[in-house]
A and B are shown apart, each in its own frame.
Chain A
Amino acid sequence: MMRIALLGGLYSNYLALEAALVDARRRGCEAIYCLGDLGAFGPHPDRAFPLLHEHGVACVRGNYDDSIGRELADCQCGYTDPRDNHFAQLSYDYTLANTSPANRAWLRSLPGEIRFDLGSYRVLLCHGSPRRTNEFLWESTTSTHFLEHLADEHEADVICGTHTGIKWRRDLAGGRMFVNVGVLGRPENDGRTNVWYTLLTHRRHHAPRDGILEKSLALCDPPHAKREDYGEIVVEFIPIEYDHQRLAAEMRAQRLPEEFIETIIAGWWTTCLEILPAKERRRGRW
Chain B
Amino acid sequence: MNQHSPTDQRPWIAIPHLDHLWFQVAGTLCNLTCAHCFISCSPKNDSFGFLSLSDVQRRLEESVPLGVKEYYFTGGEPFLNPELTAILIETLRYGPATVLTNGTVLKDEWLTDLRAAEDASIYSLEFRVSIDGCSPEMNDPVRGAGTFARAMKGVAKLVQYGFLPIITAARVWPIEQDRAIVDRFLEVLRDAGYARPRLKILPTLHLGAEETRTHGYLPSERVTSDMLDGYDQSQLVCHHSRVVTDRGVHVCPILIESHGSVLGQTLSESLVPFAIEHGACTTCYEYGAICSNASSQPLGQEALG
Contact = CB atoms under 8 A, between A and B. Distances in A.
Contacts of A275: 294
A143 B289 contact: no
A142 B124 contact: no
B198 A274 contact: yes
Interface string A136-160: 0011111111101110000000000
Interface residues of A, number: 34
B67 A146 contact: yes
B70 A141 contact: yes
Contacts of A138: 124
Which of A86, A132, A279 has the most CB atoms of chain B within a 10 A radius of its CB?
A279
Nearest to A89: B303
B14 interface: no
Contact of B124 (A80, A277, A286): A277
B304 A278 contact: no
Nearest to A149: B67
A268 to B, nearest CB: 11
B126 A277 contact: yes
Contact of A141 (B124, B200, B295): B124
B96 interface: yes
A141 B123 contact: yes
Contacts of A85: 303-304
A199 B118 CA distance: 30
Contact of B295 (A82, A131, A132): A82
Given A140-B123, A140-B124, A141-B124, A274 B295 contact: yes
B64 interface: yes
A149 B16 CA distance: 12
Nearest to B296: A80
A81 B294 contact: yes
A83 B179 CA distance: 10
B65 A145 contact: yes
Contacts of B65: 145
Interface in B12-63: 17, 19, 63
B69 A278 contact: no
A274 B294 contact: yes
A82 B95 contact: no
A278 B64 contact: no
Interface string B169-184: 0000000001000100
Contact of A277 (B17, B96, B304): B96
Given A146-B67, A149-B17, A278 B294 contact: no
A79 B289 CA distance: 11
- Which range contains the number of B residues in contact with the other chain? 35 or more
Interface string B184-199: 0000000000001010
A143 B69 contact: yes
Given A80-B292, A83-B304, A145-B95, A140 B70 contact: no
B219 interface: no
B133 interface: no
Contact of A140 (B68, B94, B96): B96
B118 to A, nearest CB: 8
A27 interface: no
Contacts of B200: 81
Contacts of A278: 118, 124-126, 163-164
A177 B257 CA distance: 41
Contacts of B123: 140-141, 143, 279
A281 interface: yes
Contact of B289 (A80, A83, A280, A282): A80
B288 interface: yes
B74 interface: no
Given A140-B123, A145-B65, A277-B96, A80 B294 contact: yes
22 contacts: A80-B296, A82-B178, A83-B305, A84-B294, A131-B17, A141-B96, A142-B69, A143-B67, A143-B94, A143-B95, A143-B123, A145-B63, A146-B68, A146-B95, A277-B124, A278-B118, A278-B126, A278-B163, A279-B123, A281-B198, A282-B164, A286-B196
The 4 closest A-B pairs by CB, nearest first: A149-B67, A82-B304, A143-B95, A85-B303
